Amino acid sequence: MLTMAPSVCSDLWGVWQILGWVLMVFKIVIPILIILFGMIDLGKAVVASKDDEIKKAIKSLAMRAVAGIVIFFIPTLVATIFKLVDGFQEVKGEYDVCATCISSPGKCQTTAESHCTSHSGTWNKDTGCSGFQATKTE
């Protein structure tokens, strides 16, 4: 059976790159905010010298830390999912472009361009990849 290789990641590389930059900013800003708000909350509780407020501030800091850890590992989870999907013959290599754009946004355009040209497509920075040749799947 002949199918056209999907090019959703190569065509939308700019969107994936922006998502990658946003996640990178979150990975930097969220831990800083957790530390800052934790210091403020614990400082207020210590100054008030109330055991209940100190326990509440510690619990709040722990919940924020868990949320920060979860957000920090979202790109790893997404990349793992893309690697699993990329194993299917019909989309071989295409979702590697998405994973690269999310985990390393600086390498996004280069990866999308090389994937496009390796599948006999025509690369255009503005419109993405066009002209994929049909591939035979069994």
- Confirm whether 112 is domain-assigned: yes
Q: What is the mean pLDDT of residues 39-66?
A: 85
Q: Give residue 78's identity as a one-letter amino acid code.
A: V
In total, how many domains does the chain have?
Answer: 1
Cβ(109)–Cβ(129) below 8 Å: no
**In the structure, what pLDDT confidence band is assigned to residue 91 with cuts at 50, 70 and 90?**
low
Domain that residue 39 falls in: 26-119
In the predicted model, is pLDDT for residue 134 greater than 60? no
Question: Which DSSP state fits 131?
Answer: -
- Confirm whether 70 is domain-assigned: yes
2 in helix, strand or coil? strand
Euclidean distance between CA atoms 4 and 50, whole angstroms: 67
